[in-house]
């Protein structure tokens, strides 16, 4: 009731603006119609394993893409709220580097829309930041998204289930092999949660999934710690061939 009562005052002092283009909108935490239409939401049919969009509408829900057939993934599925394009990139930059942490609710809702029902108990766990990066930024954007998903689905949030033991440079511009080399040995399961992770079903949350090198490093650490299942959820996924 207090939030509703104060909403007109807040809107007067801080008029709601679209976080992508800056145009005036009706309420905070939303997008204007033009920017909403610019987002690319993965649709069906899609790969039953990695949710990669498939072009043939006659395919069954159990269809698997060529990439997963050629190199079966170690994860138990990927769910992406959007495909990475100019609109989603601007949202990620505002959220990740612009201190627009309130965007976690909007991005989380988009992720939840593509995340299937997860049966049983699951641990929701973010991709970790190195403590130096965390101090510089002030927050882990993946942890904020993980919190939104855990709260909405009623799953347990384990913010420090994974730790990044050594700082890594920006992975932008690097190929998959180079990214894997940089991340080698950088991520591990937190020994304080060893018993909790062993045998658990884990939803790994990240903001952007590019080559999959970071999620692969997390997967390797979680499998080594004895996790039973690991599913990945991200806000934006780089799949240029699907755009």
The tens digit of pLDDT for each residue in 148-200 reads: 999 999 999 999 999 998 777 676 666 677 777 778 888 999 999 999 999 99
* Distance of alpha carbon 92 from alpha carbon 99, whole angstroms: 11
Cβ atoms of 128 and 187 within 8 Å: the answer is yes
Mean pLDDT for the stretch of residues 7-30: 72
Is residue 33 domain-shared with residue 61, that is, in the same domain?
no
* Distance of alpha carbon 138 from alpha carbon 19, whole angstroms: 20
Pairwise pLDDT comparison (205 vs 99), residue with the higher score? 205
- Residue 72's Cβ-count burial label (10 Å; 0-12, 13-18, 19+) is exposed
Is residue 205 domain-shared with residue 226, that is, in the same domain?
yes
Is residue 121 domain-shared with residue 149, that is, in the same domain?
yes
* Distance of alpha carbon 56 from alpha carbon 51, whole angstroms: 14
SS3 8: helix
* Distance of alpha carbon 241 from alpha carbon 137, whole angstroms: 32
Residue 50: CATH number of its domain: 3.40.50.2020
Pairwise pLDDT comparison (2 vs 197), residue with the higher score? 197
Q: So what's the pLDDT on residue 172?
A: 65
Residue 106 pLDDT > 80, yes or no? yes
Cβ atoms of 49 and 77 within 8 Å: the answer is yes
Is residue 99 domain-shared with residue 16, that is, in the same domain?
no
Is residue 105 domain-shared with residue 144, that is, in the same domain?
yes
Cβ atoms of 222 and 197 within 8 Å: the answer is yes
Is residue 175 domain-shared with residue 98, that is, in the same domain?
yes
Mean pLDDT for the stretch of residues 66-89: 91
Give the global pTM.
0.88
SS3 24: strand
Overall domain count for the chain: 2
Provide the domain limits for residue 5: 1-38
Is residue 141 domain-shared with residue 204, that is, in the same domain?
yes
- HSE toward the beta carbon, residue 170, CA cutoff 13 A: 2
Is residue 48 domain-shared with residue 79, that is, in the same domain?
yes
Is residue 11 domain-shared with residue 131, that is, in the same domain?
no
Mean pLDDT for the stretch of residues 213-227: 94
Is residue 30 domain-shared with residue 48, that is, in the same domain?
no
DSSP 182-200: HHTTTEEE-GGGHHHHTT-
Is residue 127 domain-shared with residue 12, that is, in the same domain?
no
Is residue 23 domain-shared with residue 67, that is, in the same domain?
no
Q: Average pLDDT over the chain, rounded to whole?
A: 87
């Amino acid at each position: 009731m207090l939030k509703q009562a104060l909403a007109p005052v807040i809107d007067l002092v801080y008029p709601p603006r679209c976080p992508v283009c800056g145009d005036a909108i009706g309420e905070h935490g939303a997008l204007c119609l033009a920017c909403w239409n610019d987002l690319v939401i993965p649709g069906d049919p899609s790969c039953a394993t990695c949710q990669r969009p498939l072009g043939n509408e006659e395919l069954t829900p159990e269809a698997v893409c060529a990439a997963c057939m050629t190199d079966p993934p170690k994860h138990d599925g990927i769910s992406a709220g959007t495909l990475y394009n100019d609109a989603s990139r601007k949202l990620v930059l505002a959220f990740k580097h612009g201190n627009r942490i309130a965007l976690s609710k909007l991005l989380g809702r988009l992720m939840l829309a593509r995340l299937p029902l997860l049966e049983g108990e699951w641990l929701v766990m973010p991709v970790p930041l190195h403590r130096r990066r965390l101090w510089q930024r002030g927050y882990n954007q993946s942890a904020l998204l993980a919190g939104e998903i855990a709260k909405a689905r009623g799953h347990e949030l384990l913010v420090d289930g994974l730790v990044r033991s050594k700082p890594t440079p920006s992975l932008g511009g690097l190929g998959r092999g180079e990214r894997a080399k940089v991340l080698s040995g950088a991520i591990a399961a937190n020994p304080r949660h060893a018993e909790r992770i062993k045998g658990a079903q884990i939803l790994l949350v990240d903001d952007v999934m590019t080559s999959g090198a970071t999620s692969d490093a997390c997967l390797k650490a979680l499998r080594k710690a004895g996790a039973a299942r690991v599913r990945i959820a991200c806000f934006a996924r780089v799949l240029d061939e699907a755009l």
